[in-house]
Amino acid sequence: MKALIQFLAIAYITCFLGSLNAYAAETNQVKQAKTLVFGVVPQQSSSKLARKWLPVLKFISQESGVELQFATAPDIPTFEKRLAQGQYDIAYMNPYHYVVLSNEVGFKALVHEQDKKIEGIIVATKNSKINKLDDLSSQTIAFPAPASFAATLIPKANLVQRDISFNSEYVDSHDNVYRNIAAGRFVAGGGIKATFNALPDYFREQLKIIWTSQGYTPHAIATHPRVNDDIREKLLNGFLAVKKSAKGEKLLNALQMKGFIAANDKAWDDVRNLNIQLVLGQN
């Protein structure tokens, strides 16, 4: 009898502990699902990004039932390192980031901007004598970061293809590129149309676009592989819901977006086909 009681006690404790472990795992999963860190590539200042993204993320959180917590980084290389380290559960990343990290980390595309192609640009001060790419020969050009896709990689590739010699300096963000050019520290710099058009009128009017690239599949919003399919489906519904209401459309205006559409990994084959070989996280 004593042996039977001991056996039953051990069996009960084992069952109880198993239940606790299962409950803990389930609770942890719920917690993970309840708040996800949403990383945004720092093309602009943290405060500007927060003003634009926080209302949108709040709307998506309410629609999806999955709370999204805004996060960014002080500069693009740091953002790239944090992406690779898995510090973001879901992130808004440039096309090259996605191509690299979908392969190396397993990020899965969820949505991208609707009716959008990303275009790289090179800008100069409005009254300068820099009017075409040939005018940049032997000049020092400002770029956001080494792996900024349309603002660095595409412009540099086009300059190289034209045998135009130049020097590069990296200034951490798109806004810093525009600011440095307006201040006369550089004769020209790389950016993208979206961030250029987002500049205040008085600032943008000091600059001119001297070159524009062809269009490529835009930034991806992609989830880390630890985010399960059920949560991805909820998030997808949340992102797709933004453009379906007057409130959501107003929020999108701040981002200068029309809405989001479901993403297919193959959409970024146009970027893969460029066969860019560059390590992320470099300054």
- Interval 50-58 mean pLDDT: 97
The residue-averaged pLDDT of 178-183 equals 96
| pLDDT over 60 at 90, yes or no | yes
Question: What ranges do the domains of the chain cover?
Answer: 29-116+218-272, 118-216
CATH class as words, domain 118-216: alpha beta
Q: Calculate mean pLDDT across residues 143-159.
A: 93
CB-CB neighbours of 231 under 10 Å: 21
Cα–Cα nearest to 95, from 244, 242, 190, 221 = 221
Architecture of domain 29-116+218-272 in CATH?
A: 3-Layer(aba) Sandwich (3.40)
pLDDT band at 280 (very low <50, low <70, confident <90, very high): confident
Is the fold of 29-116+218-272 the same as that of 118-216?
yes
Cα–Cα distance measured from residue 187 to residue 180, given in angstroms and rounded to the nearest whole number: 9
Mean pLDDT of 82-94: 97
Which single residue is written with the structure tokens 């690779």?
A: 84
Contact 91, 81 (CB under 8 A): no
Q: How many CB atoms lie within 10 A of CB 155?
A: 28
| Residue 115 pLDDT greater than 70, yes or no | yes
Q: What is this structure's pTM?
A: 0.82
pLDDT over 70 (residue 270): yes
Cβ within 8 Å of residue 3, ≥6 positions away: none
Look at 17 and 150; give whichever has higher pLDDT.
Answer: 150
Neighbour tally for 45: CB within 10 Å: 14
Q: What is the phi-psi region of residue 281: left when phi exceeds 0, alpha when psi lies from -120 to 50, beta otherwise?
A: left
Mean pLDDT of 44-48: 92
CA–CA gap between residue 171 and residue 179 (Å, rounded): 10
Specify the range with the lowest mean pLDDT, choosing from 148-157, 170-179, 269-278. 269-278
Tell me: the pLDDT tens digits for 184-234? 999 999 999 999 999 999 999 999 999 999 999 999 999 999 999 999 999
The β-bridge partners of 132 are none
